[in-house]
């Protein structure tokens, strides 16, 4: 069974205090690993797709990396507007439009 575990469940940072969020996964052949941002009362907003171990993607203060067992979302010098829940999801390499399997997310609070 495909599984995603995210840690920590919640993280509180001071503005400018860099940190990393972890996503551990088991999947029967990885098609892609996805990071989403979710604000309260909103749907998941797509951030990154990672396809293979060693790959990195960057967007503003966020950088996502991937190994064969886990992914990290590094947040550099965060600002209060980065406060959100960050979701990790995997898609298995099967035929067709296979569904995403999500973790519970990390709730990030950045304090000014």
Partner 1 sequence: EPEVTQTPSHQVTQMGQEVILRCVPISNHLYFYWYRQILGQKVEFLVSFYNNEISEKSEIFDDQFSVERPDGSNFTLKIRSTKLEDSAMYFCASSPGTGNQPQHFGDGTRLSIL
Residues that bind partner 1 in the complex, under the rule CB under 8 A: 31-32, 34, 36, 41-46, 49, 51, 87, 89, 91, 95-105
Closest CB 96 distance from partner 1, rounded Å: 5
Phi, psi of 61 (to 5 degrees): -90, 5
In the complex, least distance from residue 92 CB atom to partner 1, rounded to whole angstroms: 11
Shortest Cβ distance from residue 100 to partner 1 (Å)? 6
Cα separation, 20 vs 22, whole angstroms: 7
For partner 1, the closer CB: 80 or 99: 99
The CA R_g of the chain, rounded to the nearest whole Å, is 14
9: helix, coil or strand? coil
């Amino acid at each position: 069974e495909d599984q995603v575990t995210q840690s920590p469940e919640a993280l509180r940072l001071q503005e400018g205090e860099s940190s990393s969020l972890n996503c551990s996964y088991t999947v029967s052949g990885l098609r892609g690993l996805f990071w989403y941002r979710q604000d309260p009362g909103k749907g998941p907003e797509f951030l990154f797709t990672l396809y293979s171990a060693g790959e990195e993607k960057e967007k503003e203060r966020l950088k996502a990396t991937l190994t064969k067992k886990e992914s990290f979302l590094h947040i550099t010098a965060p600002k209060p507007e980065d406060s959100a829940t960050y979701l990790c999801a995997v898609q298995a390499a099967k035929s067709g439009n296979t569904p995403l399997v999500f973790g519970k997310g990390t709730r990030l609070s950045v304090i000014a």
